[in-house]
Amino acid sequence: MLFKGINLDENSRCQHYHSELDIVALKCATCQSYYACYKCHNAMESHPFEATSSDESYPVICGACQTYLPLIGYKSGSCPHCGSAFNPNCQLHDHLYFTKESHYDEH
């Protein structure tokens, strides 16, 4: 599997986030591993989740089709490859997953 987490299903839903739309895995800058969420990462690793920087090519994996996505592809709200929708509430955690300079400017 391309991603890790606690009680994962095949689409990257974990024990913490498991709605139909919770289908992304995010890359930790420290260990370079993809996790269903920062809570899973922090429970399974000996270091805290570290946000990826703006130069990270593929900080996200779509859990539905297993495609590596650039930030702009993820920020579109659905996978540009398979069309699966992402949970819009994940934006509340952007500061945990992406450094400030990597936030996609929608203007």
Q: Kindly report the average pLDDT of the chain as a whole number.
A: 93
Cβ distance 57 to 24 under 8 Å? no
Mean pLDDT in residue range 47-61: 96
CA 50 to chain centre: 12
Please tell me whether residue 35 adopts helix, strand or coil conformation.
strand
**Site of tokens 């805290």:** 48
Q: Give the per-residue pLDDT at 105.
A: 47
Pick from 80, 83, 75: nearest CA to 104: 75
Whole-number percent of the chain with pLDDT over 90 = 87
Position 1 pLDDT exceeds 80: no
Cβ distance 53 to 99 under 8 Å? yes
